[in-house]
């Protein structure tokens, strides 16, 4: 969901508008916090072993770095992401090519979601994020987050177009395929479950239950199943409660208003573990004030 945060100029990288002091994670603190920070996307800790595996898998698309150097670069990029320096995280990740696409796409996408107000600029950034993710899918097809970042970027792009246009252009189908592949590789990928829940709910809301099921295989029951899975996997993440509220309104805004408000309240009460979660919680607070 797009946040009502400080407006940015068309091409500016607006600074993180909240206090980031608690999200610095210097030294070993990042590794210690990693399981919580990445409970939603399952991103592996980028140590030397992980870096070596990425270099081998990416082949010619890999940067000319040692495993130690790549591990250090990835940790530095993620550290800047978590403290809210999204431009630095994007620059560092994109400089590494496909092996840095996970942090680059997430930084670009989260910044665009929350801190870019201009609709055209949002679309451009999600297009750019999708291009980075597509390159990662080509170079690292066995990485769950290659596919998830593609689904995320295309999903946000499609929301900017409208669901109807996204369906017409076939983007929704690409999102579904990327999410299905993500979950085939990582069945407990909470953010993919959340995204797939919204996929079902948005289509049902747009075209109705009958057509949604017959034409797109989208069902309200599947939306509920996936969001419940995500809630069990990441109960401390604000975004899962935010999207639960959004899903409830999509499926039946007349009868689910109170339940949606309660979901936003749960999101607002979560203790943020990084800048992204702080923005998600702030958005939720805006909805209930």
Reduced 3-state DSSP string for 203-263: HHHHHCHHHHHHHHCCCHHHHHHHHHHHHHHCCCCHHHHHHHHHHHHHHHHHHHHHHHHHH
Q: Does any domain span residue 221?
A: yes
> What tokens were used for 221?
């029951």
> What tokens were used for 63?
């940067």
Q: Which domain holds residue 272?
A: 215-289
> What tokens were used for 155?
């999903």
Q: Does any domain span residue 268?
A: yes
Q: Does any domain span residue 248?
A: yes
Q: Does any domain span residue 272?
A: yes
Q: For the segment 195-212, what is each residue's pLDDT rounded down to a tens digit? A: 999 999 999 998 888 888
| Number of structural domains in the chain | 1
- CATH number, domain containing residue 222: 1.25.40
Q: Does any domain span residue 249?
A: yes
Q: For the segment 25-39, what is each residue's pLDDT rounded down to a tens digit? A: 999 999 999 999 999
> What tokens were used for 32?
């210690």
Q: Does any domain span residue 267?
A: yes
Q: What is the pLDDT of residue 11?
A: 59
- pTM exceeds cut of 0.85: yes
Residue 212 contacts by C-beta under 8 Å, 6 or more apart in sequence?
200, 203, 204, 206, 218, 219
* pLDDT tier, 7 (very low <50, low <70, confident <90, very high otherwise): very low
Q: Does any domain span residue 60?
A: no
d(CA 31, CA 55): 21
Q: Does any domain span residue 44?
A: no
């Amino acid at each position: 969901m797009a946040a009502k945060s400080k407006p940015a100029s068309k091409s500016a990288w607006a600074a993180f508008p909240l206090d980031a002091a608690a999200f610095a994670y210097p030294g070993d603190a990042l590794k210690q916090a990693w399981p919580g920070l990445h409970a939603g996307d399952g991103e592996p800790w980028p140590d030397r072993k992980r870096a070596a595996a990425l270099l081998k898998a990416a082949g010619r698309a890999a940067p000319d770095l040692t495993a130690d150097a790549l591990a250090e670069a990835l940790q530095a990029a993620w550290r800047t992401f978590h403290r809210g320096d999204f431009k630095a995280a994007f620059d560092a990740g994109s400089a590494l090519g496909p092996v840095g696409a996970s942090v680059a796409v997430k930084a670009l996408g989260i910044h665009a979601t929350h801190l870019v107000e201009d609709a055209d600029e949002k679309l451009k950034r999600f297009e750019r994020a999708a291009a980075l993710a597509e390159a990662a899918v080509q170079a690292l097809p066995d990485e769950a987050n290659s596919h998830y970042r593609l689904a995320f970027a295309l999903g946000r792009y499609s929301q900017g177009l409208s669901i109807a246009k996204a369906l017409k252009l076939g983007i929704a189908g690409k999102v579904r395929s990327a999410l299905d592949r993500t979950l085939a590789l990582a069945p407990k990928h909470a953010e993919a479950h959340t995204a797939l829940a919204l996929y079902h709910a948005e289509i049902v809301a747009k075209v109705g239950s009958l057509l949604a099921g017959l034409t797109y295989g989208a069902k309200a029951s599947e939306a509920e199943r996936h969001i419940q899975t995500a809630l069990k996997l990441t109960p401390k993440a604000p975004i899962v409660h935010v999207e639960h509220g959004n899903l409830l309104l999509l499926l039946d805004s007349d009868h689910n208003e109170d339940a949606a408000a309660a979901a936003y309240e749960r999101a607002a009460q979560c203790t943020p573990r990084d800048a992204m979660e702080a923005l998600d919680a702030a958005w939720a607070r805006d909805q209930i004030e």
